[in-house]
């Protein structure tokens, strides 16, 4: 019997990234819907319980969970840390909201900073241009929540106001995450079996 080893070359290690499971238009649709659903659900809970932190926590939990599912399907396995960071960002925002008096442009700016920085901690290992996620959140949440009050006053109902805010913020962030996911970070770890060593 002759001993031999099947060597793995650097070329073998340069495996292509696995293809995403969702089309880009599906990412745009689901991501936007997640933000709209999360904001409206949280506002309903706040209206029912009169507890701001419960409503804010529900927003972060639902939005973060749905976003995590989308990212997982796109091969960016951010895990439950994404949900935890999202919930933490929204709860912190809810605690600070009385300082701003109401949902407005400045509170949207604050939320964008919190969400962008905390979610960015999870995203940086999965996309090459993750630093853009923070400014994208600042822009999206500032514009979206900045329209909440005017739309609510114009329509006479907070439901339409928060839905429009979520739709705009969600759409802007959906475009940003779709662009970031075009440049994924894909590495083969040392523990990943590529070609086993054989002996015969």
Contacts of 105 (CB under 8 A, 6+ apart): 142, 145, 146
CA distance 27 to 9: 36
Task: Please report the pLDDT score of residue 16 as a whole number.
Answer: 63
As given in the structure block, the two tokens for residue 113 are 């900073």
Task: Please give the C-alpha separations between residue 133 and each of 43, 118, 136, in angstroms, as whole numbers.
Answer: 25, 10, 5
Nearest to 39, CA basis, from 164, 150, 137? 164
Task: Please give the C-alpha separations between residue 89 and each of 37, 99, 116, 198, in angstroms, as whole numbers.
Answer: 17, 16, 9, 50
CA distance 30 to 150: 26
Task: Please report the pLDDT score of residue 20 as a whole number.
Answer: 79
Contacts of 144 (CB under 8 A, 6+ apart): 108, 165, 166, 167, 168, 169, 170, 172
Phi, psi of 127 (to 5 degrees): -135, 150
Read off the DSSP letter of residue 125: T
Phi, psi of 184 (to 5 degrees): -75, 155
- pLDDT (tens, 9 = 90+) of the chain, 200 residues, equals 444 444 444 444 555 667 878 899 999 999 999 999 999 999 999 999 999 999 999 999 999 999 999 999 998 999 999 999 999 999 999 999 999 999 999 999 999 999 999 999 999 999 999 999 999 999 999 999 999 999 999 999 999 999 999 999 999 999 999 999 998 887 554 444 444 443 44
């Amino acid at each position: 019997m002759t001993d031999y080893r099947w060597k793995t070359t650097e070329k073998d290690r340069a495996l292509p990234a696995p293809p995403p499971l969702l089309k880009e238009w599906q990412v745009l649709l689901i991501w936007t819907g997640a933000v709209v659903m999360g904001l409206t659900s949280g506002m309903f809970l706040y209206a029912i319980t009169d507890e701001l932190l419960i409503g804010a926590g529900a927003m972060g939990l639902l939005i973060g969970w749905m976003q995590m599912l989308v990212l997982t399907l796109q091969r960016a396995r951010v895990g439950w840390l994404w949900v935890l960071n999202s919930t933490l960002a929204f709860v912190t925002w809810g605690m600070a909201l009385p300082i701003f008096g109401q949902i407005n442009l400045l509170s949207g700016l604050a939320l964008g900073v919190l969400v962008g920085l905390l979610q960015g901690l999870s995203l940086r290992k999965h996309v090459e241009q993750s630093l853009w996620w923070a400014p994208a959140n600042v822009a999206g949440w500032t514009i979206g929540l900045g329209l909440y009050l005017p739309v609510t006053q114009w329509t006479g109902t907070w439901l339409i106001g928060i839905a429009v805010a979520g739709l705009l913020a969600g759409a802007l962030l959906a475009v940003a995450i779709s662009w970031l996911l075009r440049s994924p970070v894909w590495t083969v770890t040392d523990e990943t079996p590529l070609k086993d060593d054989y002996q015969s």
